[in-house]
Amino acid sequence: MTLIRKVVFPVAGLGTRMLPATKVLPKEMLPVVDKPIIQYAVEEAAAAGCETFIFVTGRGKTIIEDHFDRAVELFEALAAKGKDDVLGGLSSDVPKPGTVIATRQQEARGLGHAVWCARQLIGDEPFGVMLVDDLIHAETPCMAQMARAHAETGGNLVAVMEVPQEHTARYGIVDPGREDGPLVEVKGLVEKPAPEAAPSRYAVIGRYILDSAVFGHLDRHEVGAGGEIQLTDAMEKLIGSQPFFGYRFAGRRFDCGDKLGYLEAIVATALARPDLGADFAAVLDQYR
C-alpha cells in the first residue's frame, strides 16, 4: 500500500444546512450514535495507514482539537470510579502526541482555499483530503481502498459514485475515459454542471488522494464556481500531466451535511452495531 502519511480535513465551514444545531456546536461534532462525525473520518484515515491529521479550522472550532486530546479530569474521574472499560475506549481514541495539527482558514473562500491553507504542512508528497460530511460505511474503509489503488496508479485519485442525472448540479462531475474495474480514467472535471450539460453521472465525493503539484495551481487563487477557489478547478489542471482516476469505492455513503442524510446515517450506524442493532430495529418497528 502506498503510504499516504498526511490527510487534510477541511472543517472551517459554518454548517448552515444543519442550523440551529450548528449555531454553537461545529457540524463536525454532531454525534452519529455516540461518536462525532469527524471521529469516523479520522478512524478511516488511520485505518488507511495515515499518521498525521491536519485540521483546517476556523473561529469557534477549537472543540474539534479538544476532542482529540486527553480529557484529564474526565479520565481521572473514570479511573477513580473503576470504569476501566470506558476509560480504555476513550484513551484509544486519542491520536498519538504530535499527530494532530490545526491551521486556520481565516476567510471562507472555498474548498480549494481550505486545502491550500495546509500547503506548508504537506510539503512535497502525496496526501489525502477527507470531507467529514461524507460518512462511508464499508467493509474495507474507503480511504484504505483508495490507498491500495493509488499504489498502482500513482498520480491523483478521487472517490466517485453515480448520482441521478438531476443531481449533477450538486457535485463535481467526471468526464470519463476508459474504465478498468473500479477505476475510471478522468479526462476532465466539471464543477456542478446543469443536468443537460453533465458529461456523466460520476460525481466526486469527499475522498481524495492528490499529488502536491496541486498547490502550484491553488497558489494562483483563481476564483471559480460560486465565487470561490474550487479544488476541482486546480485538480483539472493536473489532468494530462499526471495519472488521474476516479475510484468507484465499495460501500455506502451518507451525506451528514444534510438533515435527511444525517438521520439516515444515524439509523444505518445504529442498526449495524452488534450492541444496539437488534434492540434498535425493534424500536423502529414501532413507527411503521
Q: 100-104 and 52-57 as β-strands: parallel, antiparallel, unpaired? A: parallel
Show the domains of the chain with their CATH numbers: 6-285 (3.90.550.10)
Residues of 84-96 as b/e, b for ≥16 C-beta within 10 angstroms? eeebeeeeeeeee
Report the alpha-carbon distance of residue 187 to residue 227 in Å, rounded: 24
pLDDT over 90 at 69, yes or no: no
All three cell numbers of 37, joined, read 462525525
**Contact between 160 and 247 (Cβ < 8 Å):** yes
CA angle, residues 116, 109, 170, in degrees to nearest 5: 100
Q: How far is CA 68 from CA 33, 98, 241, 246, in A?
A: 18, 11, 38, 31
Beta strands (DSSP E) in 23-126 are: 31-32, 35-36, 52-57, 100-104
119-164 pLDDT per residue, tens:
999 999 999 999 999 999 999 999 999 999 999 999 999 999 999 9
* C-alpha dihedral (69, 74, 80, 84), degrees to nearest 10: -60
224-261 pLDDT per residue, tens:
877 888 898 899 999 989 999 999 999 999 999 999 99
pLDDT over 90 at 44, yes or no: yes
80-90 pLDDT per residue, tens:
878 777 767 77
The reported pTM is 0.92
Task: Estimate the crossing angle of helix 142-153 against helix 37-47, to 10 degrees.
Answer: 40
